[in-house]
Amino acid sequence: MRSARGPAVLGALALAACATAPPQPAPRTPAAASRCSPAPAFAAGGERATLWLRHSAEFRAASEIIYRAAEAALRAGLADPAWTAEPAQTGDLSALPPAVVMDIDETVLDNAAPQARMILEETCFEEFKTVWDAWVAERAAPAVPGAAAFIRAARALNDPQGRHVRIFFVTNRECGTRPGNDSPCPQQDDTAANLERLGLGSPTLAEELMIKGERTDWDSEKLSRRLEIAKSHRIVLNVGDDFGDFLPDVRRQTAAERERARCAHRKRWGRQWFMIPNPMYGSWLVTLGPDLAAALAADPPVAANCDTP
Nearest-angstrom CA–CA distance, 230 and 86: 8
Helix (H, G, I), strand (E, B) or coil at 253: coil
Note the pLDDT tens digit of each residue in 236-267: 999 999 999 999 999 889 999 999 999 999 99
- What CATH class has 43-290? alpha beta
Nearest-angstrom CA–CA distance, 152 and 100: 12
Per DSSP bridges, beta strands 209-212 and 98-102 are unpaired
Neighbouring C-alpha atoms within 13 Å toward the C-beta of 4: 14
Burial of 261 (0-12, 13-18, 19+ CB in 10 A): middle
- pLDDT category at 306 given cuts 50, 70, 90 is confident
Average pLDDT, the chain: 88
Nearest to 277 by CA among 72, 43, 135, 65: 65
Note the pLDDT tens digit of each residue in 150-170: 999 999 999 999 999 999 999
CB 192 within 8 A of CB 201: yes
pLDDT score of 7 more than 50: no
CB atoms within 10 A of CB 155: 15
- 38 prior amide bond cis, ω within 30: yes
CB atoms within 10 A of CB 43: 24
Provide the residue ranges of all domains of the chain, joining segments of one domain with +: 43-290
